[in-house]
């Protein structure tokens, strides 16, 4: 099991990834997601991360990581290089999302995407009643100091997948402490999707 203090999304991704698979984690941070997978499931992991401190932390954990920008880092990989390409909490920081997802689907059999839901009811409340940009548990930043450049809802992402011919094979909607079943676009803080190319 992954450590309990680790986020719900990490636990879900941990359970999705098959043992001994090849995994590329885009925006792997300090390797908190990859480390338990390598330790327990003996996956072949590669992280990509830009932050200096995070890189050092990954190496401390024994992880292999490239210091690089996600948007420039995928080009060289041959097709089907990985079983999973993970974009957890990093897609919203990417400018050319369609290119990155397209490349991720090219080099990975499955793509796992996790992102904060902008249509969460507290976000809607902040915007509608308070007239202010939302600050929530999954979108904790103030407008002038956020790494996020893309703000999307669960429905937005589903539309995107339909338009780009991407198949959603699994979907998980996360609230504060557990998964959400009812009206996820309203009640989920985060979503995790497993994607493949449409055949």
40 binds other proteins (CB under 8 A): yes
Distance (Å, whole) CA 47 – CA 30? 9
Stretch that binds other proteins, among 34-42, 96-104, 147-155, 185-193 (CB under 8 A): 34-42
Which listed residue (18, 20, 62, 128) binds other proteins by CB under 8 A? 62
Neighbours of 57 (CB within 10 A): 18
Per CB under 8 A, contacts with other proteins among 77-116 are 77-78, 81
Position among 12, 26, 55, 191 found at the interface with other proteins (CB under 8 A): 55
DSSP letter for each residue of 21-89: -EEEEET-TTSTTHHHHHHHH--EEEEEE--HHHHHHHHHTT--EEE--GGGSSTTSPTT-EEEEEEES
Segment contacting other proteins (CB under 8 A): 56-64, 88-96, 141-149, 164-172?
Answer: 56-64
Residue 6: CB minimum distance to other proteins, A = 12
- Contact between 66 and other proteins by CB under 8 A: the answer reads yes
Distance CA 49, CA 64 (A): 11
Q: From the CB of 102, what's the least distance to other proteins, in Å?
A: 18
Distance (Å, whole) CA 63 – CA 160: 33
How far is the C-alpha of 58 from the C-alpha of 132, rounded, in Å?
37
Cβ of residue 10: shortest distance to other proteins, in angstroms? 14
Binning the chain into helix, strand and coil, the percentages to the nearest 5 are 35, 25, 45
Interface with other proteins includes 71 (CB under 8 A)? no
Please report whether residue 44 would count as binding other proteins according to CB under 8 A: yes
Pairing of strands 166-174, 190-197: antiparallel
Q: Which is nearer to other proteins, 10 or 190 (CB)?
A: 10
* Among 39, 95, 155, 198, contact with other proteins (rule: CB under 8 A): 39
Residues that bind other proteins (CB under 8 A): 1, 3, 35-36, 38-40, 44, 46, 52, 55-56, 58-68, 76-78, 81
């Amino acid at each position: 099991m992954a450590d309990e203090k680790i986020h719900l999304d990490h636990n879900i991704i941990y359970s999705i990834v098959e043992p001994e698979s090849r995994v590329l984690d885009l925006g792997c941070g300090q390797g908190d997601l990859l480390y338990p997978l390598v330790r327990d499931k003996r996956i072949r992991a590669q992280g990509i991360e830009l932050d200096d401190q995070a890189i050092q932390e990954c190496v401390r954990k024994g992880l292999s990581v490239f210091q690089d920008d996600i948007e420039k880092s995928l080009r060289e990989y041959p097709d089907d290089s990985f079983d999973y390409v993970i974009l957890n909490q990093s897609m919203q920081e990417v400018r050319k999302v369609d290119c990155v997802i397209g490349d991720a689907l090219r080099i990975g059999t499955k793509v796992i995407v996790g992102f904060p839901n902008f249509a969460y009811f507290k976000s809607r409340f902040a915007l509608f009643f308070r007239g202010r940009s939302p600050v929530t548990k999954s979108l904790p930043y103030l407008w002038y100091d956020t790494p996020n450049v893309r703000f999307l809802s669960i429905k937005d992402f589903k539309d995107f997948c339909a338009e780009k011919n991407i198949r959603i094979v699994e979907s998980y909607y996360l609230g504060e402490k557990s998964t959400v079943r009812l009206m996820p676009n309203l009640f989920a803080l985060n979503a995790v999707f497993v994607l493949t190319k449409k055949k």
